[in-house]
Structure 1
Amino acid sequence: MLQLLRFATATGALLGLTTAAAMAQQPAPARVTFSGYVRDASTGENLIGVAVVHPASGQGTATNTYGFFSLTLPAADSTTRLLASYLGYQRQVLALKSDKGKTLDIRLKPATSELQNVEIVGTKQEQIAQSTRMGTVNIPLNQIKAVPALFGERDVLKVLQLLPGVQSGAEGQNGLYVRGGSPDQNLILLDGTPVYNASHLFGFFSVFNADALNNVELVKGGFPARYGGRLSSVLDISMKEGNMQEFHGEGGIGLIASRVTLEGPIKKDTASFIVSARRTYIDVLTRPLVSAALASQGIPRDERPKIGYYFYDFNAKVNWKLSPRDRLYLSAYTGRDAFYARFREGARNSEEFSRINTELGWGNLTSALRWNHVVNDRLFANTHLTFSRYQFDVGVEQENRRRNPDNQLETEKFSLRYLSNIRDWSIKSDFDYVPLPNHYVRFGGQYIWHQFRPGAVQAKSSDPNSNPNFTLGKRVYGQEVGLYAEDDYKVTERLKVNGGLRLNGFAVQGKLFPSLEPRLAARFLLTDEVALKASYARTSQFIHLLTNSGIGLPTDLWVPATPKIKPQRAQQFAVGAARNLRFHGEDYELSLEGYYKPMHNLIEFREGADFLGTTDNNWEDKVTSGRGWAYGGEVFVQKKSGRTTGWIGYTLAWSTRRFAELNQGQLYPFKYDRRHDASLVVIHQFSPTLRLSGTWVYGTGNAITLSRGRFLLGSDFGQFDDYGPRNSYRMRAYHRMDLDLSKTKKKKWGEVVNSFSLYNAYSRRNPYFMYYREGYTDQNGNVREKPGYRQISLFPILPSFSKNFNF
């Protein structure tokens, strides 16, 4: 702890000097500042990324994550006009006195028609060519909800997989493999709180309910200094804050799950709430089928096992406006997957019976208390207290009730449980300081208390003579501190730079791991519509994910860096170009990026090792460390407004690994190395009530390891498989088309949207995994089937229907 305090003091002093230098650029006396919030006029929801522009000078800014903006302009005797514009909303022009500043509460009205293309004329709204940021994509929520979905479940992560540089692990999975990285290298934030496992149903669905979300942003590279702790990406998701004007609800009924979201004012214009819930009914739907199958085998009703699976999510948030300068937010999320199998021998009304219950469960719990405070017209503060927990557990419980020779009823109980979890407590403060239109300064710090339990085994018994009551596996504690400062500085009209520095430290088991992380991004305008960009970021990660499965099983274990296992490190270099296009009266954004990312201290299980029997006492002996390299190029064309919206993405990429103790120390392809990856997303609104959307994806097949030969070593030794180089075989290429047709019906109380979807519309047999099957020779010695590997495909064409509503 003392080491960490010394490190924090030293780094705080250094960053304090950096920040003070930026803040020392005080504006001239003859300037005025206009600041405030921009909100939705109908709901009171804060709007993120709204352009607030002074058309006369071309100076402008954008609202931050909490809807706040600050714009300082030269004072004048005449009237100042400001323009607020946001995609999907009507522009608003404000006429203000120029001799004094003012705090504003801007309310934008939604566009009158869903088909309206809101055109911004004569403004300097920061579009893709003007921004210094690289590898950052913001997908409008209306597009996320319109993209075809598996079983009708709208999924944020599956939409993000359609972006260049982002891959799915396998058919139907929602894991994110960003620019050659693995899922644990993604920092997934829900209202600023990390979510460690974002998957339901063994990876087929994410934990995020799109109805409860306000903003989704993915950062793949060029990370600003305010983000830290991961190597590959940041997924920053903001929940809605609750309608402050009137009660509102929405939800949906699908084939396997239903959901509902309710929001409204607790006190109009002062406090609001939002709650959102979702649950599957897979266990209810399959129960009659399982019972019928068991009945056909002659198993009595009382002895038929109960087998089922379900998951649920619950979000809640309260938003309280304490004063014009202060807001308080309290939010929470909980979600869990549960698989159970319950077996019983003996009639239900019998005193004598035997039962065995087996359960597998995993889930997240997060909570956050956030305070927004406007310190003055140029300085905005956000303080965040958070708790996050992820836990996986599997257990079996056995009970036997029998009469002894003395005819007395005796009960024996035994239980065995394996669990793994990670818990974080965190405090974080962020400051946004806008001294001049040419500077946007951010600085702050965070402290995290980590508690790891990589693996623990618990056993309990009612038999006092066996004495099996024990727990193996103890907790490991770690402390992480991060301090940062950055400035988005407009050097000239053509050159803009975002420079920053982040200092991290991690203390565990008496060892301190410091990390100095410079961040730099720049853009140079060749014309008003074309820009060249470049960025560099150094990142570190103090936690690892031990994974032995490619299909999102919850048996993956979170472990800390230790004196024996070093933190992960990476650098990312990127160059690119961006252009705003106008074609046939429609606006498009085009970006091209190339990147190179070397990674150090990656870990993998040793050959033959897995999570079984892994505890905090021995996991370090089951892993090996190595290096990785990822590089490639991306093309992205996006259209966000008009009757037809969507995007085209293409990625050409390489991702390799080298571990001294794997593959004989030779370089090998990462399992999800994918040379070519392409996606097409089209959403067309025929009318305000009829919409057709479609996606098409293509990807090079995943790399896997197969046996090159099989040898019989005799009856005493069995057979031997000669495996070739690691991941040296490619499965067939993957491609798929999905379609969705939605019809909206207006009702007196709201509207109903009926959607019909086709997943894998042309029923492509995409490979999921491969297995070896022995050949078959008949009695005459004729070969009927040759031995070899066979492909398993998961999903053929899958139709689904869902009914969504809002009121």
Structure 2
Amino acid sequence: MSSYTVKYFFLILCFVFLGAKATYAQNKGDQVYEFNFFEVTYPEAIQKITDQCGVNFIYSDDNIPLVKKITFQRKQAKLSDILNLMFDGRFLGYRIEGNDIVISVHRIPLDSPEGRRLTKYPINGVVREKGTKETIIGATVIVEDLNIGTVTNFDGFYSLSVPIGSYRIKVKSLGFFEYDTLVKVEQAVKLNVQLNIMETKLREVLVISRNSEIYEGILQLSNITNVTPEATKELPMILGEGDVIKSLQLMPGFKSANEGSSELSVRGGGTDQNLFLIDNVPIYNATHSLGFYSIFNTNSLKNVTTYKSGIPAQYGGRGSSVIDVHLREGNNQKFNVSGGIGTISANATIEGPIKKDKASFIISGRRPYTDLFQLNSENGVNTIVFYDLSAKVKYQINSKNTITTSGYFSRDKLSFQDVSASEWGNNTANITWNSLLSPKTYSNMTLWYTHYSVSNIINTVPETSYITSYTLDDIGLKYNLEHYFTPYVTFKTGLESIYHLYNQGDIAPYAPESIVTPTDAQDISAIESAAYFDIEWNIDEKVKLGIGGRYSRFDNIRNRRQYIYELTPFTSTGTLNTVVDTVFYSGFNIDNSYHNFSPRASMSVAITPKHSLRIAYDRMAQYAQELSLSSLPNNAGVWIPSNKLIKPLINDQYSIGYLSKLKDGVFDFSFDAYYKDSKDILEFHPNGRYLVTDQIENDVVGGIGKSYGFETLFRKRKGKFTGSMAYTYSFSFMKVDEINDGNWYPTNQDQRHVFNILGSFQLSPQIQFSAVWNYASGRPYTAPEGKYIKDGYVVPIYGERNAARLPSTHHLDISLTFYRKMSRKKQNESSFNFSIYNVYARKNTYSYIFRSSKSNPEQLETVKVYLFSILPSFSYNFKF
């Protein structure tokens, strides 16, 4: 067959195929069906035609009418008849290609009826509590007719865009009655909502929020946990103080750093890898009194939101998690006083209007009314004292602009006889300007300052006693912009810059006979800057996508003194590097810079209306790390910034999760698995000096780490009996060339099993009983493997790092809470909580001390240290 014949034959085939296709398309439109459509929406009609006629529609969601409904009831009608009715060619047309029906868009004037129908107008506003007029975070706003919704941001603001029409709007939030109204939209609509608080006590202690309500509330991008501050007062307490962080530790993945401690380890990360924010201001130490309490006074808190994965790009500077705390704004309608008295401390809060409906204030403070453990002895006294004070003022300039200023101050003093003493504290201040730039665009700008300080006295041996101090100061500016493009797409972006000043401390002799040489390490300055964006896109009712990125830069400002080391770069020699020269500089210059781009991505897919999967990837960069000076008491850690020889910590986390809601939300179940890679984790050199010096890079080493595990949570959320079971199974390892011969070893956070059971039973409207049982497998520690005798005393020789394990810990805690209305109008209320910590008096091991035996100084003995046996406590809280 010639090539000409082949080409001719192929051409004939093409014409035959096209003709057949055209005939088939024509015949498809002429096929007759029975249609019974009554008041159905376009999406419903498209789905019905697809199922009934065996065709596929090709179209864009943005072009399909959402409000218009169709009635078409015929027993014998062509497919083209109903298509001509739906897509009449004025705005939407159609063509049939085989089994595909392609919907086309025709241009029309915006002032025509079809143009007005297509044009979308924003509905926006602020959701507040009706009584106090405080804004509500995370309230759900749903347009029922369109099956779309959103949640309010941290300032209570929301925005949705809808076509012209009338819609039923529902607003819901945990602990409030639902708001339901009909809104007619012909132009931009301002809809401010006030929710009435429920009279009955809310029994849910921990709440997963920020879910999309579009598909039965299961599309959740981030692994978010919200703690309700009020409910912490119903849980078993230590020494009569409710604590939101201890409540958080009942959730999987959040581990207590030590027995009874409010310090957090999240997914294998160190306690320094958690970003604590108070009204957008970073906090460097979030604990009181050896970690028994966090610094967050429950009465002053509005909302506590935490992220473990799917972390928005607006957060940076830490490696593992975010704990975002917002303080209450105060009642701008009337004056209120509330407070409480616990076993060792008392707290009080006063709030009220400065100008009604315009400005409000709130002041909250807490302090022990007796110095705990202040026991006289021949060597001195033991003292644990703390206080915290927060204040906030909010002024609404107009309907579009608000100014808020707040401050937080805390101080702790801890002393053990005349042997050691520590003092530390946080001071913060900020001013925030919130502005509604357009019906779809919201912004806030925060200027803030934070100060953290630590001082320590070590007087174990007077001849070597010393006092040391350390401070850290930050000044920051952050600008954040939120734009609501459509009901399905939200875009956030912003800029942030922080000036860090690290005062690396000074050392001075303490006792007159001390031979310690005074030293004063030079200050270290750095500038940390970032630009970020987040896009949240509801692709459809079953798929939600989040994409973000954070570009950060860390610039070291050149030190006045710089040291030249013998080995550059450092090598694993087992001994400290030798300084061979010192160079002095003057002026302001950038000495070293680090850049990092941290992508964030997450996706949630609804398998069914009650079950969903989520996956997430997070990269986090941390430019300063905290190392604990092990020869000093707790809370004596020092923050060490990156420089030429100390690289920033980089964490890459991959996670996948499953979420299920059962029996109309009465039960829910979640399962999450994760894997985390870490680079350049800091540790002290085995021969390092556990004191801050100008040559800190010579005393620390960097390593790599890996953490992985899975977390499960089952909860009953409604009814007289509520509760949860949380289990975490995890591993955390690191490897440093200079430690354990470069082999992998478990980190201090490595803890295989953590199991928490919470049960809460409402005995009556006024009486609530709660119980918590906790089990945790033992933490690693470094045990001695030998000894030698010096001056008649035994000195332990320690083996491999973290090669031994402490015993497992477990305890049962119970509480009984009584509620009472103090007036007929039910405006005043009080509660009394009685708790027992560690009901069966188990002496859980906190640590071991290895020392010479008193009976035989040349014999090494192991002493078990535990903090609590059985510990009853009470608290009384009031509000009027």
Scaled by the length of structure 1, the TM-score of the pair is 0.84
List aligned pairs for 1:351-750, cutoff 5 A: 360-394=422-456, 417-457=467-507, 472-508=520-556, 509=558, 510-549=591-630, 553-582=634-663, 587-612=666-691, 614-615=692-693, 617-710=694-787, 721-748=796-823, 750=828
Q: Distance in 1 between matches of 2:722 and 2:639?
A: 39
Q: Distance in 1 between matches of 2:366 and 2:784?
A: 44
Helix, strand or coil for the counterpart of 2:247? helix
**Identity across the alignment (%):** 32
Q: Distance in 2 between matches of 1:734 and 1:434?
A: 49
2:119 is equivalent to residue 40 of structure 1: no
Q: Is the 8 A contact 1:573 1:595 kept in 2?
A: yes
Change (3 A) 1:640 1:218: farther
Helix, strand or coil for the counterpart of 1:725? coil
- Cα distance, 1:192 vs structure 2: 0.7
Structure 2 unaligned runs (5+)?
A: 1-109, 205-210, 460-464, 559-590
Q: Is the 8 A contact 1:498 1:520 kept in 2?
A: yes
- Cα distance, 1:457 vs structure 2: 3.1
Change (3 A) 1:131 1:769: same
Query: Which of 275, 279, 282 is residue 187 of structure 1 equivalent to?
Result: 275
Change (3 A) 1:85 1:93: same
2:157 is equivalent to residue 59 of structure 1: no
Helix, strand or coil for the counterpart of 2:741? helix
- Cα distance, 1:640 vs structure 2: 4.3
Q: Distance in 2 between matches of 1:273 and 1:595?
A: 43
Instruction: Name 2:409's counterpart in structure 1.
Output: 334
Instruction: Name 2:14's counterpart in structure 1.
Output: none
Q: Is the 8 A contact 1:261 1:275 kept in 2?
A: yes
Query: Which of 123, 138, 148 is residue 236 of structure 2 equivalent to?
Result: 148
Instruction: Name 2:312's counterpart in structure 1.
Output: 224
Query: Which of 867, 870, 873 is residue 797 of structure 1 equivalent to?
Result: 870
The amino acid across from 2:468 in the alignment is Y
Q: Is the 8 A contact 2:219 2:605 kept in 1?
A: no
- Root-mean-square deviation (Å): 3.0
Q: Distance in 1 between matches of 2:309 and 2:643?
A: 27
- Cα distance, 1:151 vs structure 2: 0.5
List aligned pairs for 1:58-457, cutoff 5 A: 58-76=147-165, 79-114=166-201, 125=213, 130-283=218-371, 289-290=375-376, 308-339=383-414, 360-394=422-456, 417-457=467-507
Helix, strand or coil for the counterpart of 1:211? helix
Q: Distance in 2 between matches of 1:551 and 1:652?
A: 32
The amino acid across from 1:37 in the alignment is V
Q: Is the 8 A contact 1:132 1:498 kept in 2?
A: no
2:835 is equivalent to residue 760 of structure 1: no
Q: Is the 8 A contact 2:203 2:760 kept in 1?
A: no
Q: Distance in 2 between matches of 1:115 and 1:375?
A: 36
Change (3 A) 1:724 1:316: same
Helix, strand or coil for the counterpart of 1:766? coil
Change (3 A) 1:128 1:618: farther
Q: Distance in 1 between matches of 2:432 and 2:215?
A: 30
2:849 is equivalent to residue 771 of structure 1: yes
Structure 1 residues 436-468: Cα deviation after superposition (integer angstroms, max 9, x where no partner): 011011111101001111222368999xxx9x9
Q: Distance in 2 between matches of 1:55 and 1:231?
A: 40
Structure 1 residues 141-163: Cα deviation after superposition (integer angstroms, max 9, x where no partner): 23322221101111122111221
Helix, strand or coil for the counterpart of 1:157? helix
The amino acid across from 1:541 in the alignment is Q
Structure 1 residues 117-171: Cα deviation after superposition (integer angstroms, max 9, x where no partner): 9xxxxx9726895334232111222332222110111112211122111111211
Q: Is the 8 A contact 2:747 2:802 kept in 1?
A: yes
- Cα distance, 1:98 vs structure 2: 2.2
Query: 639-648 vs 56-65, which deviates more?
Result: 639-648
Q: Distance in 2 between matches of 1:175 and 1:483?
A: 30
Change (3 A) 1:306 1:171: closer
Query: 593-602 vs 142-151, which deviates more?
Result: 142-151
The amino acid across from 1:225 in the alignment is A
Pick the structure with greater CA Rg: 2
Query: 536-545 vs 586-595, which deviates more?
Result: 586-595
Q: Distance in 2 between matches of 1:750 and 1:127?
A: 39
Instruction: Name 1:11's counterpart in structure 2.
Output: none
Q: Is the 8 A contact 1:136 1:218 kept in 2?
A: yes
Structure 1 unaligned runs (5+)?
A: 1-25, 118-122, 295-303, 344-356, 398-414, 779-784
Q: Distance in 1 between matches of 2:502 and 2:850?
A: 39
Query: 559-568 vs 676-685, which deviates more?
Result: 676-685
Q: Distance in 1 between matches of 2:327 and 2:216?
A: 24
- Cα distance, 1:672 vs structure 2: 2.2
Q: Is the 8 A contact 1:40 1:47 kept in 2?
A: yes
- Cα distance, 1:488 vs structure 2: 0.5
- Cα distance, 1:788 vs structure 2: 5.4
Q: Is the 8 A contact 1:39 1:107 kept in 2?
A: yes
Change (3 A) 1:474 1:128: farther
Helix, strand or coil for the counterpart of 2:239? helix
Instruction: Name 1:411's counterpart in structure 2.
Output: none
Structure 1 residues 511-539: Cα deviation after superposition (integer angstroms, max 9, x where no partner): 11000111100011111111111010111
Change (3 A) 1:93 1:768: same
Q: Is the 8 A contact 1:140 1:640 kept in 2?
A: no
Change (3 A) 1:36 1:552: farther
Q: Distance in 1 between matches of 2:250 and 2:216?
A: 19
Q: Is the 8 A contact 1:128 1:578 kept in 2?
A: no
The amino acid across from 2:174 in the alignment is L
Instruction: Name 1:349's counterpart in structure 2.
Output: none
Query: 125-134 vs 557-566, which deviates more?
Result: 125-134
Q: Distance in 1 between matches of 2:270 and 2:527?
A: 24
Count of residues paired in the alignment:
716
Structure 1 residues 160-205: Cα deviation after superposition (integer angstroms, max 9, x where no partner): 1221111112111111000000011000001110110011112221
